[in-house]
């Protein structure tokens, strides 16, 4: 059977897991474009972009260990 050029075709772009659940979920959303006509891709790309921005914002908001206390210069005056 010949492929109808009007039908969506999978892009075949591999998605490698990153280990960050939020990022991986956004990247998996890219698979949706494999089943959409080209004019439907923008909505998926915008959704993925928003998900990645939210994941980056969440990473920035995470609290790390406290910063070390500033050292005081040694004063050798008597």
Number of compact structural domains in the chain: 1
Q: Residues 33-54: pLDDT tens digits?
A: 888 888 889 999 999 999 999 9
Residue 16 lies in a domain: no
pLDDT tens per residue, range 5-44: 667 777 777 888 999 888 999 889 988 888 888 888 999 9
Domain that holds residue 34: 21-58
CA 56 vs CA 16, 25, 30, 70, 74: distances in Å: 18, 13, 18, 29, 41
Q: Would 76 be classed as within a structural domain?
A: no
Instruction: Look up the pTM and report it.
Output: 0.63
């Amino acid at each position: 059977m010949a492929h109808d050029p009007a039908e969506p075709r999978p892009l075949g772009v591999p998605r490698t897991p990153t280990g960050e659940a939020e990022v991986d979920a956004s990247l998996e959303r890219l698979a949706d474009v494999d089943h959409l006509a080209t004019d439907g891709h923008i909505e998926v790309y915008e959704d993925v972009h928003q998900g990645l921005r939210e994941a980056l914002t969440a990473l920035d908001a995470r609290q790390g260990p406290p910063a070390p206390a500033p050292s005081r210069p040694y004063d050798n005056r008597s």
